[in-house]
Amino acid sequence: MRIASHCRITPNRCLANGQPVPVQRSERPYLTDLYHSLSMGYPKFFKMDNLCKAGVLAAELVLRGSSVDGLTPRHDVAVVGLNSSSSLDADLQHLQHLHPDSYFPSPAVFVYTLANIVTGEIAIRHKILGESSFYVIPEFSAHQMAKVIATTLSDANINCLLCGWIEVLGQELDVLMMLIDRLNGPAPTAQNINSLYNER
Amino acid sequence: MNELIDKLKQELIEVLNLEEVQPADIDNNAPLFGDDGLGLDSIDALELIVLLEKNYGIKLNDPKEGREIFKNMTTMAEYVSQHRTK
Amino acid sequence: MLKRLGDSIISKLGIGSRKNYMAVRNGQSGVEHCPSGTLGVPEPFMASLIDRELLNDHFMPIGGNRVHFYTPFEKLAILAVHQALQQANIDAAAPQVQFILSTTKGNIGLLEQPEHPYGPQRVHLWQSARLLAQFFGNSNEPLVVSNACISGLCAQIQADRLLALGQHSVAVVVGAEVLSKFIISGFQSFKALSPTRCRPFDAARDGLNLGEGAACIVYQRREADCPMAPGEMRLSGGAIRNDANHISGPSRTGEGLYNAITAVRGGHSEPPAFISAHGTATPYNDEMEAIALSRAGLLSAPTFSLKPHFGHTLGAAGVLETVISMHALADGVALGSWGAEHLGVSHKVNITPEMRPAQGATFLKLMSGFGGSNAAIAVSTSPNTTNTSQPCE
């Protein structure tokens, strides 16, 4: 088992496999600028909440050059997300639509009030038909991530796993996405995950 | 009617977050849903129901009614002009 | 593989899994008309709600003066765990016990009450899970599974895998959900709610009902080759699969659910005793399920949905419906599906309003949800209860 590739996104900064991803900045939000710099041509991106935007961009970066090409349906790939505040960022948006003086709940906002939608968005974008799961823990924990990776790969049908810490709340943005496969290489141990998380 | 169509196009682009679409890109008679035309989906359809209620005071309870109304910009504008309460 | 040590259900229909199971057998439903203004929702709706005063009355004997410290969501979860532990006869504080909480929105209703006394951290799902584990003196970091409507099955599957890692031997899996304006308004905006009691798989079905509830299963790790004791109930397999199709619309081909079912069944061609379906009674969900069952060759298996009794209890549903189904398997019956008078899906799902005898030692529990997620688990009991082989400890 190895970490085949990884990506780190923090406010105003993105590293893919340790290398800074060049982003042409504008007055738009950082994630929008990052999207444009990746030339994804995926207009659905603009419909997503920030949690999904962050997860989809990170997945895009770690899957570039991998065998998960977005064209072939992949039954042997799983996508698992973890964070601390679940979908609270979208929850607060939905709440704004429930004001008694202007009560118009929006389905396009409400659908994002589930944390696992980000794993669904990634699965759609890359035709991933294996497992999708989402876990909530108090704070980033390389130890918990290593455990989740081990448990997900105990499904013998899964050869490849996208596992991401995707924490988004207001201005807070903290993502570590990893692509894990069953080949030999740097293992997804807590120690290795921690060093990727602390990469600068 | 053309004025209403233009206004609806602006509103549609805004509520559906069609960031890369300009009002001029939307053909008045091209299908809004499905793979041709604008390619909107089921959540977009529900969001358009909210738009009708919020901006025009039109309440649709059965989402199936939306299929005919939101066929294209022309059908949508016709429905709005006939049923609007604000 | 996991062995059930104890279970519980708290719902509008009562406290205790046997009580809830018998209520279902007797055709009772917790789903009621909730007039405009209920939970602050302007429009009326149908739902199965738990009386907060009653909840406090039941919480008092175990939580005493902490009744005002915990939120209704937390009290519900605590009560469910407490009930299941009484049967399980284990020390929940022991280091080999891992708590797993399944919920979609936890304490989210607190956002609607800016003046609430619980503190800003309380909307976090992990915070509720910690308070829950701490109530029982357990200091392992609990895990929260939040995978939309399939969470309760994912929590059981994850319990199985975590225990297989060897660090823990017992998992306390609890699913809980309370309703709020937050949740109901969203489902209303999706036009997903039925104005009447929901009718899964029926031609006249027009949407789902929501429900509140909590359920708990205490599981212990078991080796697959360990023979089953009479009456033992085991989680024998589970799989989670995505549709990769749409974030809210079910797949038109039942892809993810079909894949989850085949992953769980492996090479088994023997039909299950019954299928405990997701059966939300939305037009698209039930049709998708029928397609998946047809593709999996399971149309002949007796099938039912529990939603007309409890409503859709979201993050609790996977645990709650598994517990009811375990009791049905033990009794050798496939439960009736209220409202399924005239089949309204494109494949002949074997569903009837009446309860029927069921042959077999295994059932499948299915769920699907937003985010394109699907899950299936298989639960087995000993094929004949006169099995005298020595169970292993």
C26 to each of A52, A73, C335, C355, how far by Cα in Å?
Answer: 44, 46, 10, 10
Token pair, residue C76, equals 């519900």
Q: Nearest Cα to C30, choosing from C14, C6, C45?
A: C14
Instruction: List Cβ<8 Å contacts ≥24 apart for C164-169.
Output: C164/A151, C164/A154, C164/C221, C165/A147, C165/A150, C165/A151, C167/C96, C167/C98, C168/C96, C168/C97, C168/C98, C168/C140, C168/C221, C169/C96, C169/C97, C169/C220, C169/C221
- C47 located within any domain: yes
Does residue A136 carry a pLDDT above 50? Answer: yes
What pairs with residue C175 in β-bridges?
A: C102, C215
**Residue C388, pLDDT score:** 52
- The region that residue C14 occupies, defined by phi over 0 for left and psi between -120 and 50 for alpha, beta otherwise, is left
**Residue C389, pLDDT score:** 55
Residues C181 and C86 in one domain: yes
A88/C123 Cβ within 8 A: yes
Mean of pLDDT values over A87-113 = 97
pLDDT digit string, tens, across residues C345-383: 999 999 999 999 999 999 999 999 999 999 999 999 987
Percent of chain C residues past pLDDT 90, beyond the cut? 93
Residues C66 and C174 in one domain: yes
pLDDT digit string, tens, across residues C9-51: 999 999 999 999 999 999 999 999 999 999 999 999 999 999 9
What pairs with residue C172 in β-bridges?
A: C99, C218
A111/B50 Cβ within 8 A: no
Type of residue found at C233: M
At a CB cut-off of 8 Å and minimum separation 6, what does C348 contact? C299
Please state, in angstroms and rounded to a whole number, the distance separating the CA atoms of residues C387 and C227: 9
What are the start-end ranges of the E strands in chain C?
2-11, 14-15, 32-34, 45-48, 97-102, 143-145, 170-177, 210-211, 213-221, 233-242, 274-276, 303-304, 333-334, 356-357, 362-369, 373-381
pLDDT digit string, tens, across residues A142-169: 999 999 999 999 999 999 999 999 999 9
Please state, in angstroms and rounded to a whole number, the distance separating the CA atoms of residues A180 and C376: 25
C249/B49 Cβ within 8 A: no
- A5's enclosing H/E stretch is strand A2-10
Please state, in angstroms and rounded to a whole number, the distance separating the CA atoms of residues C145 and C160: 13
Please state, in angstroms and rounded to a whole number, the distance separating the CA atoms of residues C185 and C43: 9
At a CB cut-off of 8 Å and minimum separation 6, what does C213 contact? C9, C10, C11, C12, C48, C50, C76, C176, C177, C310, C313, C316, C317, C320
Please state, in angstroms and rounded to a whole number, the distance separating the CA atoms of residues C145 and C147: 6
Lowest-confidence region among A33-42, A78-87, C208-217, C264-273: C264-273
- C62 located within any domain: yes
CA dihedral B36→B41→B42→B47, nearest 10 degrees, is -120
C154/A157 Cβ within 8 A: no
* Residue of B19, B47, B50 lying closest to A43 (CB–CB): B19
Distance from CA of B17 to the nearest CA of C (A): 16
Domain that holds residue A84: 2-197
Residues C214 and C247 in one domain: no
For chain B, the domain total comes to 1
ipTM score: 0.97
Please state, in angstroms and rounded to a whole number, the distance separating the CA atoms of residues C318 and C156: 9
For chain A, the domain total comes to 1
What pairs with residue A168 in β-bridges?
A: A173
Q: Nearest Cα to C47, choosing from C198, C151, C174, C175?
A: C198
Please state, in angstroms and rounded to a whole number, the distance separating the CA atoms of residues C104 and A116: 9
What CATH number should be reported for the domain holding residue A36? Answer: 3.40.47.10
- The region that residue C166 occupies, defined by phi over 0 for left and psi between -120 and 50 for alpha, beta otherwise, is left
Distance from CA of A199 to the nearest CA of C (A): 26
Residues C203 and C271 in one domain: no
What CATH number should be reported for the domain holding residue C210? Answer: 3.40.47.10
Angle at C172 between CA C169 and CA C174, to 5 degrees: 155
* Residue of C146, C158, C241 lying closest to A136 (CB–CB): C146
pLDDT digit string, tens, across residues C59-113: 999 999 999 999 999 999 999 999 999 999 999 999 999 999 999 999 999 999 9
Point out the domain boundary residue: C161, C192, C221. Answer: C221
Neighbouring CB atoms inside 10 A of C68's CB total: 10
Distance from CA of C194 to the nearest CA of B (A): 11
Give C28-80 as a 3 state SS string.
Answer: CCCCEEECCCHHHCCCCEEEECCCHHHHHHHHHHHHHHHHHCCCHHHHHHHHH
> How long a stretch of residues is chain B?
86
Which is higher by pLDDT, B67 or C255? C255
pLDDT digit string, tens, across residues C326-350: 999 999 999 999 999 999 999 999 9
SS3 C9: strand
Provide the CB-side half-sphere exposure for B86 (13 A, CA): 9
pLDDT digit string, tens, across residues B25-64: 999 999 999 877 788 999 999 999 999 999 999 999 888 8
Answer yes or no: are the C-beta atoms of C255 and C245 closer than 8 Å. yes
Does residue A184 carry a pLDDT above 50? Answer: yes
Residues C248 and C354 in one domain: yes
What CATH number should be reported for the domain holding residue B6? Answer: 1.10.1200.10
For chain C, the domain total comes to 2
Domain that holds residue B20: 2-83
- C228 located within any domain: no
Helix H segments across A19-116?
A: 30-37, 50-63, 88-96, 107-110
Does residue C391 carry a pLDDT above 70? Answer: no
Neighbouring CB atoms inside 10 A of A68's CB total: 22
- A19's enclosing H/E stretch is strand A19-20
Residue numbers in B near A33 (CB within 8 A): none
Sign of the CA dihedral with C138 first, then C140, C146, and C152 last: negative
* Residue of C190, C246, C247 lying closest to B46 (CB–CB): C190
At a CB cut-off of 8 Å and minimum separation 6, what does B64 contact? none
Give the confidence band of C390 by pLDDT, cuts at 50, 70, 90.
low
Answer yes or no: are the C-beta atoms of C40 and C112 closer than 8 Å. yes
Chains A, B: CB pairs < 8 Å: 28
Chains linked to B by 3 or more Cβ pairs within 8 Å = A, C
Please state, in angstroms and rounded to a whole number, the distance separating the CA atoms of residues C75 and C122: 13
Q: Quick check: C242 contacting A, CB < 8 Å? A: yes
Domain that holds residue C193: 2-221
Please state, in angstroms and rounded to a whole number, the distance separating the CA atoms of residues C365 and C154: 12
Residue with tokens 């020595």: C390
**Residue C387, pLDDT score:** 47
Between positions 113 and 172 of A, the ones with CB within 8 A of C are 113-117, 119-121, 123-124, 126-138, 141, 144, 147, 150-152, 154-155, 157
Give C208-252 as a 3 state SS string.
Answer: ECEECEEEEEEEEECCCCCCCCCCCEEEEEEEEEECCCCCCCCCC
CB neighbour class for A92 (10 Å; exposed up to 12, middle 13-18, buried from 19): middle
- C200 located within any domain: yes
